[in-house]
Structures are given as C-alpha cells and as structure tokens.
Amino acid sequence: MKLCTTYDPKSAFSLRDAVLRGLAPDGSLFVPKSLDPLPKHFFDRLPSLSLPEISIAICNHLFPSLSNKVIEEIITQSITFPAPVVQLTESLSVLELFHGPTLAFKDFGARFMAQLMSYYNRAESQKLIILVATSGDTGGAVASGFHKVPGIEVVILFPKNKVSAIQQKQLTTLGHNIQALEINGTFDDCQLLVKEAFQDHPLSDRLRLTSANSINIARLIPQSFYYFEGYRQLSTLTNSVCFSVPSGNFGNLTAGLIAKRIGLPVLQFIAATNVNDVVPQYLKSSRYHPRSSIPTLSNAMDVGNPSNFDRMLHLYGSTWNDIRKDIQGYSFDDQQTIDAIREVYQKYSYLLDPHGAVGYLASQEFSRENDASVIFLETAHPSKFLETVNKATGKEWDLHPTLQKLSDKQETYTSLEKDFSGLRSFLLDSFL
C-alpha cells in the first residue's frame, strides 16, 4: 500500500515511512493512496474465518510489501482477543471491543502498531524510543501494546494528579521497557515536552525518537478488521448492516469507511457523539466549526476538533453530499447517556459503558426512520466507568478482575518538572 498525505494526494510514501514517522512531513495525515475491494473468494470464505484469519487476509490485500509470514507473525502477536457480537433484538446488536488487556478498543490499534514498528526496527542496531504524552486512556493501551516488544523502549509522560488512579496504575506497573514520567504540569505541558524533544536536534539525532499517537496510520488499519468480524457474525441473518460508532477523534469511524472501501457491505454509518458534536453538525449543515471540547461522562470522546476529519474528507474528495449519504450523525448529552445505560440494563439485562450508550442512542434514533439491522460498537468495558454505571442502574457493580489485579501492583515512575532540561537529561541518562 502506498500512502499520500491529506494535503497532497500526489505525494507517495511507503508504509514503513508512514508508520515510523506518524505525522506526515507536511504536517498533515497519511492516508492510503487507493483502496481496492477484497477479492470475491475472501467473501465466499468469510463466514468460516476467525478474527485473526480475517485480519491476515486484509493485511495480505493491503500490504503486498509484507510477506504472508511476517503478517501472520504480526497478527498472531497483536489480535489476541475476540470481538463478539451480542444480539439484543432481531435487528439490534452490540459489537464488544473491550476484551483486550486494557479493556478498550484502543488495544487493537496499539498492539498492531507496536508489532509493525518492531518489525520495521528489526534490522536497526539502535533501539527505537517511543515518546507519548497521555491524558489517560491512550497511555495505558500504548504501554500495554508495547510491553516487552523487542527493540523498543517506551517513555510515557502523564500530568501529576490529573489521571485517574486506575489509569496511573496502567502506566506505572508494567516495568521492563515501559518507563513512566510524572510531570508537574498539565496534559498540554506533557505534549509540549514531547514536541520539544523531537525538535531538539542534538537529542533527536543521537536517539531514535518517534511518537505513537493516535494519528499513526498503523493504529487505524487494524480497526477495520473488526467491522468484518461484526458483519461475519450476523451474515447468516442479513446481507448488509449499519454500524453505529461512538466517536471522538473519528479514528474508529474512519476505519469503518476503509472497511467499506475494501468491500464490506455497509448500508450506513452512524456517527454517534456526545455534546462535542462538530461532525454531526457538519453532516447537517456542510459547515465545519471546530471548537474547544466540553467535558462529559463519555470523556474519551471529548474532542472539539477531531484529528481524523481530514482523512474522512479525503476519502470522499471533500464532497459533502457523498459523505452524508454514507454517514448520519446524532449527538446526546450526559442525562440521555445515563438514561440509556439504565434503559438497556432494564430491557435487556445488558450493561453499557457511557461511550457504548451514546452508540446505542444513535442506533435508536436512526431506527426510528430506517428499517435496517444495526450493530453499535461498545468501545470500553463498563467497569472502567463504575461510578456512572452504578448511578445509572442503582446497583454496586464489581470491578473487572483485570482492574482489581492492578490495584495490588507496585508503581514505579520518575517525577520531573515541566521544563525541558529535566526530560532531556532523563532521556540521555537512560538511553545513551
């Protein structure tokens, strides 16, 4: 697969280049130059394929530069947990994406990216150092995804007293090649420090530094696999589906658009947001007005200027009419989110997290006007949002065993001030 940038469709980059760079040199995002449909025999075989087999077939199709053996290795190491569909009614199902090690769908992208980066770094004698700033969830998925991956060191910067206790444990208890830095500052300070490290040329010339943020194309591609897996599980019942996708930065939804481009029969995508609704507003009015984000209960979707919006535009040649044919948008507030968690629990004895609840709400809104089978994505395990789900259902839910185990683990991290000299010395002392 050749890639170009969203600014310049004529540019051309290799997959290796795009994965190791993250951000394109012109400051925009990498996108596939073209996407061809999967061959018919793939769809003939699809009902009997497993999720890893689906993933391998898609990678073989998209990445002719990688051998089948390499692809098999990468998938075997990364796609290690299932994505089951749970049917709530004849026409409404949930695709559960929270069975990975950090209980959120970001595990798919982070683990795949880690394996692909490790592969591309294999021939290098020097270790690759990944610098990430986190405000919470991303750091956990990245730390877990890269844990013990050969040839790679990870340094995670988190703001002091500004991530939840569980999130902090997910960053600070892994050890091995994962180091956590507590920064006496905000998330923005952490991001600034990472930027400064890349721009400090004596430093970035001596160390092989890269980032692992959410715009890396290697995080997007594996998120297309589970759309096929969701469809496969319903394919005896229906021959086309709609997906309702709880969205923030719109990586998940963009991966769905890629799945459709390579042949998945998706009737409609439903963009489900909380009150941070710049994309639903765009779909209604054709005007895009990015703004600061508003905090909500579905906090992983509190995004005021989604980074994947340019990729979505690119896929449709920036034609609003074509985009809104494929995607309908709906937004919901916190009270509706709480009410939805309660409603789904009472009606179906099924517990949603606040993000999945927004996906559910959008599927209901859509179904009022459309007669189609809808799958909504459940992006995190409800146990990650105990306070909200307890409040919504009036019950005391147990913490998931994975999260329970974390609480006994010993934390190790280094505390630094927010000025760059501290980070600089830390990196040189640790890696030179």
Ligand X SMILES: *Cc1c(COP(=O)(O)O)cnc(C)c1O
Of the pair 100, 246, the CB lying nearest ligand X is at 246
Using the rule CB under 6 A, is 297 a contact of ligand X?
no
Q: How far is the CB of 136 from ligand X (least distance, A)?
A: 9
Q: How far is the CB of 253 from ligand X (least distance, A)?
A: 6
Q: How far is the CB of 252 from ligand X (least distance, A)?
A: 4
Q: How far, in Å, CA of 20 to CA of 12, rounded?
A: 15
Q: How far is the CB of 392 from ligand X (least distance, A)?
A: 16
Member of 35, 215, 301, 392 binding ligand X (CB under 6 A): 301
Cα angle 51-53-57, degrees, rounded to a multiple of 5: 115
CA-to-CA separations, 168 to 181, 319, 367, in angstroms, rounded: 11, 42, 40
Burial class, 201, CB count within 10 angstroms (exposed 0-12 / middle 13-18 / buried 19+): exposed
Q: Tokens standing for 188?
A: 């923005």
DSSP state of 311: H
Site string for ligand X, 105-134 (x = CB under 6 A): -x----------------------------
- Residues that contact ligand X, how many (by CB under 6 A): 15
Q: How far is the CB of 283 from ligand X (least distance, A)?
A: 15
Of the pair 260, 355, the CB lying nearest ligand X is at 355
Member of 293, 355, 388, 418 binding ligand X (CB under 6 A): 355
CB neighbours of residue 318 within 10 Å:
12
Q: How far, in Å, CA of 109 to CA of 165, rounded?
A: 24
Q: How far, in Å, CA of 202 to CA of 85, rounded?
A: 51
Of the pair 224, 249, the CB lying nearest ligand X is at 249
List the interface residues with ligand X, window 234-273 (CB under 6 A). Answer: 246-252
Asked if 143 contacts 114 with a C-beta cutoff of 8 angstroms, the reply is no
DSSP state of 326: H
Q: How far is the CB of 208 from ligand X (least distance, A)?
A: 27
2: Cα within 13 Å, side-chain hemisphere: 8
Rg (the chain; Cα; Å): 21
Q: How far is the CB of 52 from ligand X (least distance, A)?
A: 22
Q: Tokens standing for 101?
A: 């090690």
Site string for ligand X, 376-415 (x = CB under 6 A): ---xx-----------------------------------
Of the pair 104, 174, the CB lying nearest ligand X is at 104
Which residues would be at the binding site for ligand X (CB under 6 A)?
104, 106, 137, 246-252, 300-301, 355, 379-380
